[in-house]
Chain A
Amino acid sequence: MSTAMARIGELEVGQDLKFERRWWKFERTGWILLALVLLFAILGYLGPGPLTKHVAGTRGGPLWLEYHRYERYHAPVDLRVHIGAVAARGKELQLWIDREYVDAVSMEDVEPQPESVELKNERFVYTFKVSETPRTAKILFQFKPNKFGKTPGRLGIVDGPEVRFTHLFYP
């Protein structure tokens, strides 16, 4: 408090109207920016949301997956894998995900539960038993990212088609 205080009548108060007017403009601009951040979040650009739901592969094809492009570090993520009639054949269904991607996340759950998981040729292979040939199958991978940044992944059916996808994990 070394500088002299502004005086309003008898009142010594550090009022600064010039600063206050500049601040009000800055404050209003800040509000607009905060509103834009919220809008972005609602739309899904800062986490899962309606505009950033992606499909990798062709919907209705032998293999496609649904995911949200923007996810967050240590937050639950769903990866829905759809297998079409052509791909789901035989008594066993083997899906693989590239090792680099699986290493970037902590796998929490796979629905339905796979019969086995093994590491083969830098890929995690998930084997599911199928009692009869299903027309289609849905497999849900649930995990939490333990890295942040852009994380590309590959997922496929053993000896079958594969799809590529990219996540952006926010800190």
Chain B
Amino acid sequence: MESVIRGLLLYTFLLLVFRLAGKRTLAQSTNFELVLLLIISETTQQAMVDEDHSITNGLLLILTLMACTISLSLLKQRYRTLEKWLDDVPLVIFENGHMHKDRMDKLRVDEGDILAAARQHQGLQNLDEIKYAVVERNGKIAIIPKRTGKSG
């Protein structure tokens, strides 16, 4: 019983904190963010397992976490508003040469981040080659390039 409560508490807490941290906070855009994620996972593991290293405890915790995920996915499928609150929605930050500065400020994204995503994923060199930049629900920036022969 204690394992299940521990699992539930930590799941809820992580969900809340990661959601409050915002789309971009742990989007793994830097090496340090990856390190931070590893530290958080290690801390979570210690708090969840405590001193009980038995197989039963491990199985119970895994089951609890999976049950939480499945239940939430069912609820999110049924209630779209809940899905928005838990998973967020994508947000367009760059649109045909226009940069949505207010949205970018809220998400703590700058022009450099858009250009970095454009270079990494599309091999683009400058903003003129970008049609749209969208911050996806996982915090990654999706770049849609302008295509030649198609109006922009």
B106 touching A24, Cβ below 8 Å? yes
With A8-B132, A9-B132, A31-B20 known as contacts, the answer to whether A15 contacts B91 (CB < 8 A) is yes
Minimum C-beta distance from B23 to chain A (A): 10
**Top 3 nearest A-B pairs by Cβ distance?**
A30-B20, A16-B89, A13-B90
- The reply on B128 being an interface residue by CB < 8 A is no
Whether, in the assembled complex, B84 has its beta carbon less than 8 Å from a beta carbon of chain A, the answer is yes
Please report A residues at the B interface, Cβ cutoff 8 Å. Answer: 3, 8-9, 11, 13-16, 19-20, 23-24, 27, 30-31, 34, 74
Closest A residue to B150 by CB, please name it.
A10
Partner of B90, one of A15, A23, A27: A15
Within 8 A of A (CB), among B78-126: 80, 84-85, 88-92, 95-96, 103, 106
User: What chain A residues lie within 8 Å of B91 (beta carbons)?
Assistant: 15, 20
Q: B134 at interface (Cβ–Cβ under 8 A)?
A: yes
Give the distance in Å from the alpha carbon of A53 to the alpha carbon of B80 in the complex.
Answer: 48
- Compute how far the CA of A24 lies from the CA of B80 in the bound complex, rounded to whole angstroms: 18
Note all chain A residues with C-beta closer than 8 A to B96.
9
15 cross-chain CB contacts under 8 A: A3-B80, A8-B95, A8-B132, A9-B132, A11-B134, A15-B89, A15-B91, A15-B134, A16-B84, A19-B89, A20-B89, A20-B91, A27-B20, A30-B16, A31-B20
B22 within 8 A of A: yes
Contact at A15–B92, with CB atoms within 8 Å?
yes
CB-defined contacts of B132 to chain A, threshold 8 Å: 8-9, 11
- A127 to B85 Cα, complex, angstroms: 60
Closest to A6 in B: B89
In the complex, whether B55 has a CB less than 8 A from a CB of chain A is no
